[in-house]
Amino acid sequence: MSTVHAKKSHEFLKDVDKITRHDKTFWGVRDKRDIMAMGLPEWEDLRELASRIKMHTATHLADYLDKFSKKLESRGVTVHWAKDAEEFNEIVLGILNDHNAKKLVKSKSMLTEECEMNPYLEKNGIDVVETDLGERIIQLMDQKPSHIVMPALHISRDAIGEEFERRGISKEIGNHDPTYLTRCARYHLRDEFMKADAGLTGCNFGVAETGDVVVCTNEGNADMSTSMPKLHIVAMGLEKIVPDYDCLAVFQRLLCRSGTGQPTTTFTAHFEKARPGAEMHVVLVDNGRSDIIASEEHWQTLKCIRCGACMNTCPVYRRSTGYSYTYFIPGPIGVNLGMLKNPDKYFDNVSACSLCLSCSNVCPAKVDLGEQVYKWRQQLEEFGHESSVKKWMSRGMSMVFNHKWIYNSALWWSPMANHVPKFLMYSKINGWGKGHEMMRFPKKPFHVLWKKGKVK
């Protein structure tokens, strides 16, 4: 019954201090989100509006993308269309080669992570430098993001300090003060910005009516990536499009409050064209998004605005870390996106869900994440990945609950389980005994006590 996720989680849970810190850290972000949400009486109205805007845009995507691209082209921006990751990577490399660019500075982009752009460019002789502090840390440590907004939050400041010392970024050995380490990173990255031949940014929102590329950051690294080099490349998924400024305002109020518990990001940059003497290229990437729209049961996953709120609230993610998942995006949204990408490869992640639906309740665009995971579980047999053990257990439970005399007999004999020796109760035979104390069955079931008037 153990999945890849369960096995990896088992290993991570051995480090109790690390897991406890991970859990408390992300629950703290969830707490901040709640404070922000409760401060806006119209919060639920904004969520509903965001959901409707996304639904409308998804059903009129071709029209809005055409309008968006024409606005950009009218201002001299070159627009490229990529059907998949391979074509996207080739386009970006082609642009860099055309400009003889050897060093690329990047602000955060989960799309480039999705398409594995960094290793592709590096293989082709491009020096790729992540400029988001968290992304830079995990790049230096040769790790993958464990969260889509806070990619290095699982790493302790001591580990970061030691890595900076090893790389020569930090000169004061043993000084792991966060303020000092941040200052060291700023000096280090400032030098990279100065030497860069090109800058690449992601895109939080693309405004169809005006042709704006909107990038939200807390560090200003997107602005530095575009103001220093004379070549700006934008990596944008098709689903990032919104109709106009009024719609943008809705998401702007929701994004940061949901993701980090802030009123807004420190920097919100609007890119409409290249600055004088520079060039701007926008690469619009499909990479399976059209297939998601075509899925009747799961298309709403495309409403996601990548805020990370579902991960911050998820009890499974918080207690197992992002590295226990097999898809590059962890948590509830990652479970669903992985299944849409390749159910044969990522099916094991659907077990990483308690079906508490907390993710659905906090999602700013009202993506029914937990409900989607439940639907995927029902489809596992269709994909040939159902658990035979769970299947027989379900059949047994169905027989018990559909036959009153079997159910009552089971309740009557259930206290016998209290006398099962511990070495059997907490062994490989009983998966339910892993990680927690088993319940003790009462001598008399609730409905018997109720009928006798002993409980009210």
237: confidence class by pLDDT, cuts 50, 70, 90:
very high
What distance in Å separates the CA atoms of residue 401 and residue 109, rounded to the nearest whole number? 49
Of the candidates 371, 350, 359, the residue with the CA atom closest to the CA atom of residue 298: 371
Q: What is the mean pLDDT of residues 90-109?
A: 97
Spatial contact of 221 and 196, defined as CB atoms under 8 Å apart: no
Residue 222 has pLDDT above 80, yes or no: yes
CA distances for 57 relative to 51, 179, 241, 284, 286, angstroms: 10, 42, 7, 16, 15
Residue the block writes with tokens 């019954």: 1
Q: What is the mean pLDDT of residues 120-142?
A: 97
What mean pLDDT value characterizes the chain? 94
Residue 450 has pLDDT above 90, yes or no: no
Query: Lowest mean pLDDT: which of 104-108, 114-118, 334-338, 400-404?
Result: 400-404
Of the candidates 56, 31, 28, 30, the residue with the CA atom closest to the CA atom of residue 250: 56
384: confidence class by pLDDT, cuts 50, 70, 90:
confident
pLDDT of residue 286: 98
What distance in Å separates the CA atoms of residue 139 and residue 142, rounded to the nearest whole number? 5
179: confidence class by pLDDT, cuts 50, 70, 90:
very high
pLDDT of residue 302: 95
Q: What is the mean pLDDT of residues 109-128?
A: 97
pLDDT (tens digit per residue) in 50-99: 999 999 999 999 999 999 999 999 999 999 999 999 999 999 999 999 99
Return the higher-pLDDT residue of 2 and 325: 325
What distance in Å separates the CA atoms of residue 311 and residue 327, rounded to the nearest whole number? 14
Contacts of 259 (CB under 8 A, 6+ apart): 33, 149, 307, 308, 309, 312
Query: Lowest mean pLDDT: which of 96-105, 107-116, 411-420?
Result: 411-420
Q: What is the mean pLDDT of residues 102-120?
A: 97
423: confidence class by pLDDT, cuts 50, 70, 90:
confident
124: confidence class by pLDDT, cuts 50, 70, 90:
very high
Of the candidates 275, 258, 454, the residue with the CA atom closest to the CA atom of residue 367: 258
Q: What is the mean pLDDT of residues 17-26?
A: 94
Task: List helix spans (H) across 141-177.
Answer: 157-167
pLDDT (tens digit per residue) in 284-332: 999 999 999 999 899 999 999 999 999 999 999 999 999 999 999 999 9
pLDDT of residue 231: 98
Phi, psi of 102 (to 5 degrees): -115, -20
State the DSSP H helix or E strand holding residue 89, giving kind and residue range, or none if neither. helix 85-98
Pairing between strand 231-237 and 198-201? parallel
Sign of torsion over alpha carbons 105, 107, 111, 113 = positive
Residue 188 has pLDDT above 80, yes or no: yes
Kindly state the percentage of the chain with pLDDT values over 90. 82
Task: List helix spans (H) across 244-387.
Answer: 245-259, 289-293, 309-313, 315-320, 331-341, 343-346, 358-362, 369-378, 380-383
What b-and-e string marks burial along 192-209, b requiring 16 or more CB atoms within 10 Å of the CB? bbeebbbbbbbbbbbbbb
CA angle 134, 138, 144 (to 5 degrees): 110
pLDDT of residue 1: 52
Q: What is the mean pLDDT of residues 189-218?
A: 97
Residue 176 has pLDDT above 90, yes or no: yes
pLDDT of residue 233: 98
Phi, psi of 356 (to 5 degrees): -75, -20
pTM of the complete model: 0.90
Residue the block writes with tokens 């602000």: 107
pLDDT of residue 279: 97
Spatial contact of 239 and 206, defined as CB atoms under 8 Å apart: no
